[in-house]
Structure 1
């Protein structure tokens, strides 16, 4: 039996791993674990043979004997610790599935724990994705205990490494299937895993699986979520080997201070991509061929229908790359469309295309971004919301550095609406960007935002303050202090509010300064730096230690030694500066330094060693130390015995007295003076800030007053203009009324004169005019050429008209019964009766005259020739006057 045991132990480890006896295998696993723990590196022969023969580990982790399996899992953990990434990558394809099926469900807690540790080491050595890919099929295993053990292991993996390191989407997508399992233990473990996911992801994980759960399961999970909802954000407990190396590098770069903390902050700020993965769809081939033609239609409904068709085609989560240049140019052209429905639909199409192409859309940014931002002038909120969503999608496909220049240009736009919406777009960009802006970009953004604080509109000032608050959240206090220094307290308070409420995804991290190069040890003959006190321990060391850098906290050390009873040092003057420090150091370590070279026959007076009395009483060359302080260590040979410096601490103990207190007091005074000056500087700066804020406020008030004054002046001028116009209209109307009155008065006077001129016997005149039917010789020169009553009537009707062409109408008006002139010229016509008829306007017959009521006969033979002549002249004169009156009246009307 003993021989067999010796034979077993003499077997090579690989042979013992596959031995049929489980005890031999178990002892082989234990021996291998010890060998791995003692190995120096992965290149050790015992490690290399198991890296080369990686398939042997499958039988180790799946050993049929539970005791041997436990030791085999321990040996695998020891192997992974020394084999590193190479050993993990070579063995994980054959061991992880076996560990999940036989190690995790083990009845032995130690074996189960070692199986879990092996999975964690596989993740730590390389990366977690291959391990998760191997564990996913186990969730469909036919044995519920295997599925439950795998879910518990996944919970421990995500708890240790976090969702920022281990991708959560594959497991989240598989959760609905696990929740549908018949075994309650499986569902319970699934709940534990879901709660762990919630600790890291909160509600952002729900879109991936929540709708596939039953309402009862959702309610149960909500109750579990409430218990961990208020817990602080979890932190990664284990680091990958790559993360450990990065942390060590950061620690070394930070001088061993906070480098590790900075690395952990960066890890915490890493993004967790929870967007589901979709297969890319080729939408370019589905776009109608006549899209551009329909987009150029003169009817807005045709253009909108074309965009609607493209919108339906682009409505897919993932779009395959293609030549979309013409399509994007068409969208940019639609941004200038007069119809807002076309503009909104085009913006929605841009949003879908940018989200579908993701980073591939960056090359189209310059084509579409400017037209969209220019169209932000639209006041309808639905249009600006659609354009804002498209701009956010475009920004998500690019970066802040790509879009910043154009955004800052639109912050100076003359349209207030464009300026406001551009500012809001910049705020959204700062909140969603994952790359902090550089110092130059920060300065540009801060300057542009500070100008917005002086805008007349309150909403624009608030937007500018929000930009500064969000930028402050990203860059930190140190970077933003210079940009916020000149602002008044009111604006700082407003910016502080936005700073506290801002949620950003980026955090500015200054680049770690390179560690200073290590100073090479100075040679023993190098002169020490003046004003520095050497360390106490360095005095007892040999000469090379004298060149060690002295501490910086005691600048008063370089003082001359206090006068003692010794004749040499008592004559030294107390220097006020540190020039005597080298001589003092030289005196401590080489008392023979001076003009004379040191020798064994002239020992230093500070050495209490025994020496001949003449040499001891001889005046030492100490005054030469003060005369030649620059010689210092240069005159000391390197091979000087160490016994010379054995009593040096005594001299040092005598030095820091007397003048060192004076220097220390002076230093305190200087520090107090500096502190006082610093306080004064702070007060002056605060006063300047206060004055600057007052100046800004006064400038704002002045600008508001100027604006109000300008508005009032313009209003007054407008009222004055209206008043002048009304006054002018009134004067013109008054002038017209006066002209009309004067004309009426003139006509009245003219008519009165005519009535007075024709007032002699009106009855005789009418009788003579209407009774003379045969006398035509007297009117021969006037055109009455025919004889007889009727012939005279015709010639009278056809007589020459007045110059105005109104002769006939004037005569008719004189003869009409309703005419004013007829009534005035013949006032007695009404008295004589209706026997006398007026001339017919249509050339009718004139009734023969009859005798008047006075008894005067109607025959003109009894009337003298002079009366008829006078009547004809009066009639002709009357006609001319009437025509002149009408001509003047016509001229007056034309002037009016």
Structure 2
């Protein structure tokens, strides 16, 4: 085995990469990764052979053994790191799709991480578009785990590089299909990707895919969006190689402007879908103008509806739309609001379809729409507002400000209010910062509107100022807000903090005060900026006759003569007067030295190299005493040449320029600190207000809960009292019933003849039945079932406990001879006797008492019948 391993190690790396033994392949990947990390550049032979044989990497990343695959991915990452753009472009067509299908779904976390890192390197080394094009087809894979892993990799790519670097359109268009997948893990990963894109794009991404989602999916995504809506804008965490090079160049130039420009560009991401322009003129009615002049509003509306259908396209081909615009403007004055709304919808569609090409029609339609804002119906104002927004999207705030300013002074309050709201929307959506004059005009008009009587108008004006403040910053808006009272400032501050704008005013950097042109030649003392300026010195120093070994003092010679003002002032005082008085000077501090302080910087030696040390010594130099007094006429013109006419040496002037620049930087820093402190104080006050509001709400809720509990206790006590009252009433009712029954029994009349009563009841109720089961008589006397039926009736019938019914029945039977004749024999052909209880019912004064009385009588009669049937059954047995 040891000999075999030695043979494998002797094989070339490409042969080991394709070996059938996975251990050999694994060791080959490890050795290759080490050699790639030690290579100096992409021209190294080890790297070069794998660049030329790029197809070998397909088998590396798709290795069947997971351990070898992991090492192969590590080798690929090491190779890409050293191979550069050439290695990236040659290998990505072989590896990206295989990585997505076989490496990203790996169960090994290290292998999955290396696979994502390889995709990151592919994006970093060249450009991301080919990588996205390779990954999108993988989203249609049959295996859900492959799709989920690819979505996760896309999420990480966008998180690292951002939507400014990686184009999001193609991914957004593929999202609806992914949301229709049956696997829940795929849908969950799709949601994560959508949320990551929302962090960069916000609401601007919705038009590309939102309409194709189901309502429940939209609701779920809205809940996820709310969690990241208030997060600060994300920043790109990983840069492309091209971006890294540009950043290094910018840092070498010594400025942060590149970073600011990059942030500004990130705010503008093109998410507009690509459409083909449509020619809408064939679909517009030929008699458009004639129908708009019709006296019937339905004809006018139908015409505009046809035009609306024709204009309903995302991109409209350019053409002569003047006639249509004139018709829309005329419809804005229509008396029927349906016509007005339809015309506004047409304007909105046309402006969206033409986009920037609609700007030439703005002056014809914006004024009539603004005038029609006097309508108070919300549906009309919404349609007009949407049309105005579409018109503004094709132009800018400079072109629209004149019409807006006129309507902000309108006598109709509704027009004034809706125009103010339109101005707020314009300020929030514009990407161009208003000029200083426009800011002043808007601020003055809004300040006047703060004094309006309507609270909605005042709030809208405050929102205008707050939004404008957000765009322009504290310095530009400070002068416009100084004259306002604290209450209004607080209201404006609230709108300022809540405003979301797309434009941001950035003042131009202040140029250093004359430090770039005249002084640079006087800064040769080891300063880096001065090194670049040294090369320009010989050009300006060409006129001086004596050659200098050092180029530093050369610019000092032509500078005084290059300025006419300096030569006129410097020559008479220092150039002419000095030679005439030099012979009488004995001390360096007297005479001319006292009159002109500029003489203190003049170098005394007569040699040509004397001006060089003069700036270093400054005012404490050698003075006039070091100059030979015998040669005053030899240097009449050299003295003003070596002097600094301004009275400062080159070093002092350079130091002054540096101090001025430092002061300016400190002022800017101080201003930034002040603005930050103001912002933090406002946040503190806002949080304090929120805390106080929460405490107040909590107190209110506690009091409300206590009040509810009190009400509940009272309700329970009322319920118990009512329940007690009901029980008392029930007992009282029972007592009255018993009393009433006793009174009815006491006052009831004696019963009539029982037999007559029985016959009467029987005839009146029609109860002569033919069946023997009830124990009644039939046509032939007592039937065979009569005795059985009567026995059952007797057994089941109620008996009086005192036997009163039985005694009555016996007395009735004895009075008739001891036998009871059938009812047919006694009552046939004769009318029944009168009812027993008729007189009793007529004599009752109370309905309730009558009912109780009758019930007692019926009970008594039943008892008598039962006794009578008993007697009959007994006699029948005797017979």
TM-score normalised according to structure 2 size: 0.53
Cα distance in 2 between the residues matched to 1:250 and 1:524: 25
The corresponding residue for 2:495 is 498
The corresponding residue for 2:392 is 395
Cα distance in 2 between the residues matched to 1:595 and 1:276: 79
The corresponding residue for 2:480 is 483
The corresponding residue for 2:362 is 365
The corresponding residue for 1:435 is 432
The corresponding residue for 1:140 is 140
1:87-106 deviation per Cα after TM superposition (whole angstroms, max 9, x unaligned)? 54444333211110122123
1:614-639 deviation per Cα after TM superposition (whole angstroms, max 9, x unaligned)? xxxxxxxxxx998965689999xxxx
The corresponding residue for 1:111 is 111
Task: Confirm or deny that 1:297 pairs with 2:294.
Answer: yes
Task: Confirm or deny that 1:334 pairs with 2:326.
Answer: no
Task: Confirm or deny that 1:351 pairs with 2:325.
Answer: no
Query: 1:131-530 alignment to 2 at 5 Å?
Result: 131-163=131-163, 165-168=165-168, 170-175=170-175, 177-183=177-183, 185-194=185-194, 196=196, 234-245=234-245, 247-248=247-248, 255=255, 260=259, 262=260, 265-266=263-264, 269-271=267-269, 273=271, 282-378=279-375, 381-411=378-408, 417-453=414-450, 460-512=457-509, 519=520, 522=523
Cα distance in 1 between the residues matched to 2:70 and 2:526: 66
Cα offset for 1:7?
9.3
Cα offset for 1:143?
2.4
Distance 1:76 1:303, change over 3 A: same
Cα offset for 1:285?
2.5
Distance 1:425 1:156, change over 3 A: same
2:61 touches 2:69 (CA, 8 Å); kept in 1?
A: yes
Cα offset for 1:244?
4.1
2:521 touches 2:552 (CA, 8 Å); kept in 1?
A: no
Cα distance in 1 between the residues matched to 2:511 and 2:279: 50
Larger deviation: 281-290 or 304-313? 281-290
Cα offset for 1:443?
3.8
2:524 touches 2:552 (CA, 8 Å); kept in 1?
A: no
SS at match of 1:358: helix
Cα distance in 2 between the residues matched to 1:361 and 1:246: 38
Distance 1:307 1:229, change over 3 A: closer
Cα distance in 1 between the residues matched to 2:381 and 2:219: 39
1:537-565 deviation per Cα after TM superposition (whole angstroms, max 9, x unaligned)? xxxxxx99999xxxxxxxxxxxxxxxxxx
Cα offset for 1:468?
1.9
1:377 touches 1:418 (CA, 8 Å); kept in 2?
A: yes
Cα offset for 1:464?
3.5
Cα distance in 2 between the residues matched to 1:632 and 1:405: 74
The corresponding residue for 1:70 is 70
1:599-652 deviation per Cα after TM superposition (whole angstroms, max 9, x unaligned)? 9xxxxxxxxxxxxxxxxxxxxxxxx998965689999xxxxxxxxxxxxxxxxx
Cα offset for 1:119?
1.2
1:425-463 deviation per Cα after TM superposition (whole angstroms, max 9, x unaligned)? 221100112333344543443344445456676655544
Cα offset for 1:52?
5.9
Query: 1:479-878 alignment to 2 at 5 Å?
Result: 479-512=476-509, 519=520, 522=523, 629=622
SS at match of 1:495: helix
The corresponding residue for 1:844 is none
Cα distance in 2 between the residues matched to 1:208 and 1:17: 45
Cα distance in 2 between the residues matched to 1:289 and 1:626: 92
Larger deviation: 178-187 or 385-394? 178-187
Task: Confirm or deny that 1:58 pairs with 2:58.
Answer: yes
Cα offset for 1:290?
2.3
Cα distance in 2 between the residues matched to 1:313 and 1:6: 79
Distance 1:215 1:343, change over 3 A: closer
SS at match of 2:59: helix
1:582 touches 1:629 (CA, 8 Å); kept in 2?
A: no
1:365-418 deviation per Cα after TM superposition (whole angstroms, max 9, x unaligned)? 344323323444556554433222101011123333443444345445566654
2:604 touches 2:626 (CA, 8 Å); kept in 1?
A: no
Distance 1:420 1:68, change over 3 A: same
Cα offset for 1:207?
7.4
Unaligned runs of 5+ in 2: 531-548, 554-587, 610-616, 629-662, 668-879
2:605 touches 2:627 (CA, 8 Å); kept in 1?
A: no
The corresponding residue for 2:120 is 120
Cα offset for 1:501?
2.8
Distance 1:335 1:188, change over 3 A: closer
SS at match of 2:503: coil
Cα distance in 2 between the residues matched to 1:426 and 1:219: 31
Cα offset for 1:46?
6.5
Cα distance in 1 between the residues matched to 2:331 and 2:219: 47
Per residue, is there more helix in 1 or in 2? 2
Cα distance in 1 between the residues matched to 2:481 and 2:83: 55
Cα distance in 1 between the residues matched to 2:214 and 2:372: 46
SS at match of 1:503: coil
SS at match of 2:506: coil
The corresponding residue for 1:790 is none
The corresponding residue for 1:101 is 101
Distance 1:630 1:449, change over 3 A: farther
SS at match of 1:505: coil
The corresponding residue for 1:855 is none
Distance 1:279 1:546, change over 3 A: closer
Cα offset for 1:498?
2.5
TM-score normalised according to structure 1 size: 0.52
Cα offset for 1:156?
2.1
1:493-542 deviation per Cα after TM superposition (whole angstroms, max 9, x unaligned)? 3432322232222222334567986956856899xx9xxxxxxxxxxxxx
Cα offset for 1:345?
1.5
2:36 touches 2:79 (CA, 8 Å); kept in 1?
A: yes
Cα offset for 1:20?
6.2
Q: How many residues align?
A: 567
Unaligned runs of 5+ in 1: 530-542, 548-570, 587-592, 600-623, 636-670, 676-896
Cα distance in 2 between the residues matched to 1:328 and 1:493: 43
Distance 1:520 1:440, change over 3 A: same
